[in-house]
Structure 1
Amino acid sequence: MSKSWADEQTARIAAEIKAQRGKRSGKWLADRTAELGHGVSRTTISELETGKRKSVTVAELLILALALEVPPLQLLFPRLPDGPVEPWPGAQMPTYEAIQWVSGHRAPFYLESGHLAWKEAAPGPLGQTWTWLKINNSIEDASILVEEAARHAQHLQNFPGGEITPQEIEDAAAAYELACFRLEDLASIRRDLEARIQRDEQSDG
């Protein structure tokens, strides 16, 4: 079972490489990987796509994905969003669940009954990284809100007298202050998380 499962992984990746390559030649793909710093030969690409080669190295997966301008997970699990996939022997699941596992969003475990279940990924470097990214994205969104609120408040202040009520100006100023508070709150959360990550790294060292 393990061998056929391993062969299936390579076959799936190879099929997606061929699909993503499209009408571009194997030579083009080989040349492009060389340009990117780690050449995958035209022979290797051909042997993968024809099934002669039964394995793909991590380095090959990453550089081929970069050359084809797709995420590595697109080559690994191409049947998005919910096509069936077997990420480890005997585990059939929708593709999106496999991607959640590989990316560290969720962790699989087996119940006493033998059934597969899922839980949120345990805290650790990868989990902390996802939290940091979420906070960082929120900070970017909050920064945009601050800029928009500031422009709106300034726009209202520049209107000729009588056209804008004092309440409208007050509301715009309040919206700006609220956006600034949200931004600073998120920045504080990020600083705390970064300090915690640094402490964890030092304790592991």
Structure 2
Amino acid sequence: MTQRGVDANEDDVPEWEERVKANVAGEVRRRRKEMGWSAQDLADRCEQLGHPIPRNVIANMESGRRASLPLVDVMILAAALETYPVCLIFPVGYVDRTQELPFQELVPTWDALRRFTGDEDVAMHDAGLIPDFEAHDNLVRTALAALEEAEQARFAAKTASNRAQQEEAEHRRTKYSDEAVSAKYKLRYLRRDLRDEGATPPYLPPALADVDLPETDSNTTPEERV
């Protein structure tokens, strides 16, 4: 059994769907044994997580006898095995090459995983709002780090033993305060753009609660609030 576009020298090349299921089954079995669990242990853990998968179903999956593999099962199996769903689908380091779609050539599993997660850009593919959420996360981290540094500098200035130390600390406090304001400013307008797209912006930690303003104050800048 071969597919178009797959190395014809391979004997009995499984269909794409069967290859995906084999990847998951093999990694579930490997990870389960690595954790020292029986199939029943894994079934018990899946039930504890709220989505029972009976022991015989797990055994049939691992042996290749299970006809289907629902996405929800992959998700709960990954959680039970304390790994990520993508690591079951694309077992990097344990499966050298795999197929991304039917009738495609085998590719390195690492490359397939990176395209699956969006870590590698694919021409003409829409990444949705993932880049915006990544930018949001980076700005939150920058703002929080700057606020912490500014607070440490403020304390250093307050407890400085001489004028030179106080001035140096004040200089650092101003520098990091400005960085925090800049990050908040960018966050505010990024969150506004996300809302304009009809999306819900990510959660903001309490320390950045002043980034979002009431709609009546939407034209106020972070500089005016700090």
The alignment's TM-score, normalised by the length of structure 2, stands at: 0.71
Q: Which amino acid in the other structure matches residue 129 of structure 1? A: I
- 8 Å CA contact 2:156–2:166 kept in 1: the answer is no
Structure 1, unaligned runs of 5 or more: 108-117, 200-205
2:68 to 47, 51, 55: 55
In structure 2, the residue matched to 1:143 is 144
Q: Deviations over 1:85-138 (max 9, x none)?
A: 21112232222332233234556xxxxxxxxxx32732xxx5213422331233
Change (3 A) 1:84 1:135: same
For residue 157 of structure 1, report the CA deviation from its aligned partner: 2.7
For residue 63 of structure 1, report the CA deviation from its aligned partner: 0.9
Root mean square deviation of aligned Cα: 2.6
Structure 2 CA distance, aligned partners of 1:81 and 1:162? 61
For residue 190 of structure 1, report the CA deviation from its aligned partner: 2.6
Counterpart mapping for 1:9-88 below 5 A:
9-22=20-33, 23-80=36-93, 83-88=96-101
Counterpart mapping for 1:1-205 below 5 A:
1=2, 4-22=15-33, 23-80=36-93, 83-89=96-102, 90-106=104-120, 118-119=122-123, 121-122=125-126, 127-162=128-163, 164=165, 166=167, 168-198=168-198
For residue 7 of structure 1, report the CA deviation from its aligned partner: 1.3
Change (3 A) 1:64 1:101: same
Structure 2 CA distance, aligned partners of 1:127 and 1:104? 10
Q: Which amino acid in the other structure matches residue 192 of structure 2? A: D
Larger helix proportion of the pair: 1
- 8 Å CA contact 1:26–1:45 kept in 2: the answer is yes
- 8 Å CA contact 2:46–2:77 kept in 1: the answer is yes
- 8 Å CA contact 2:40–2:55 kept in 1: the answer is yes
Change (3 A) 1:197 1:140: same
Q: Deviations over 1:129-183 (max 9, x none)?
A: 34223312331232122212221232133112345253x1342132123222222
The alignment's TM-score, normalised by the length of structure 1, stands at: 0.78
Q: Which amino acid in the other structure matches residue 180 of structure 1? A: A
Q: Deviations over 1:172-201 (max 9, x none)?
A: 1321232222221232233223222217xx
Q: Which amino acid in the other structure matches residue 117 of structure 2? A: S
Structure 2, unaligned runs of 5 or more: 4-13, 200-226
Change (3 A) 1:179 1:31: same
Runs (4 or more) in structure 1 with deviation over 3 Å come to 80-83, 104-107
For residue 31 of structure 1, report the CA deviation from its aligned partner: 0.9
In structure 2, the residue matched to 1:110 is none
- 8 Å CA contact 1:136–1:190 kept in 2: the answer is no
Q: Secondary structure at the match of 2:112?
A: helix
Aligned residues: percent identity? 24
